[in-house]
Amino acid sequence: MVHYKTNEEIELIRESSLLVAKTLAEVARHIKPGITTQHLDQVAETFIRDHGASPGFKGYHGFPYTLCISPNEVVVHGFPSKKELKEGDIVSVDCGVLKNGFYGDSAYTFAIGEISETLKRLLKVTHASLLLGIEQAVEGNSLGDISGTIQQYAEKAGFTVVRELVGHGLGRNLHEAPEVPNFGTKGKGLKLKEGLVIAIEPMINLGQRFVVQENDGWTIRTSDRKPSAHFEHSIAVRKGKADVLSSFQYIEEALKKNQNNSIIIR
């Protein structure tokens, strides 16, 4: 069942989503070649708890960490570890928080130091596909308008769209109805109504679209081990224009100040 949110509930989801954005900005201040993803996870958990919230992912169906950190060929749900990031990597950092009974959820793919032109283009196209999908998230459109727009843009650019993993509704639960695929047919699916809150999260591969799950039961990587990018915003459907509840502004401000880590790919 789809739960439509009141304006008051949307503001609480916005508060949680903006705390996610600020947590990812704290990650951006620390991320650089040579840092371990485990250290980034500790930074994020401390920041979230210091701001009166709980990590939204930790303990969710047994997930053991605050962040999903997914470098290179890892698409999503990667475990933080003692492995160090290195120059030329890309890494998706996905974060959720629970505050005042509502979840926030967002993800950003960082470029570690100087990356290849091919990877820069992958990140640009994935980010652009997210923004184009968000433009379709208005009352009167359908879920297929979001999904089909993302798919058409990514595939026209020569990349592939992961199909086994999707976006989702968001609210008192981290994952609610409806599912929000990144592929589909425009005009098909659930008709969008004001008050629907969803997380839109394109997962776009450099190589083939196929993925496999690792033995840890969580980590999803590309089957051909080619890189994948992932960006996510939480949004509320409105009349005329979607209301973006999360933000990349804090992340990009932090990246500009941190000369050692990651460049902004736009």
265 domain-assigned? no
55 domain-assigned? yes
Mean pLDDT value of segment 82-105:
97
User: The domain that contains 147 carries what CATH number?
Assistant: 3.90.230.10
Residue 175: closest CA among 163, 166, 162: 166
Residues 81-91 pLDDT 10s: 999 999 999 99
Confidence of residue 257 (pLDDT cuts 50, 70, 90): confident
- State how far Cα 231 lies from the chain centre: 4
49 domain-assigned? yes
Question: Quick one: pLDDT at residue 265?
Answer: 60
18 domain-assigned? yes
Residues 158-180 pLDDT 10s: 999 999 999 999 999 999 999 99
- Cα–Cα dist 254/256, whole Å: 5
Question: Quick one: pLDDT at residue 258?
Answer: 75
Mean pLDDT value of segment 4-21:
98
Which H or E run includes 250? helix 249-257
Structural domain for 89, as ranges: 7-257
Question: Quick one: pLDDT at residue 69?
Answer: 98
- 176-214 in b/e form (b: 16+ CB < 10 A) is bebbbbbbbebeebbebebbbbbbbbbbbbbeebebeee
Q: Find the range with the poorest average confidence among 8-17, 61-70, 93-102, 248-257.
A: 248-257
1 domain-assigned? no
Question: Quick one: pLDDT at residue 259?
Answer: 61
Average pLDDT over the chain, rounded to whole? 96
105 domain-assigned? yes
264 domain-assigned? no
Instruction: Report the domain count for the chain.
Output: 1
171 domain-assigned? yes
- Cα–Cα dist 75/219, whole Å: 8
Residues 204-218 pLDDT 10s: 999 999 999 999 999
The yes-or-no verdict on residue 139 having pLDDT over 80 is yes
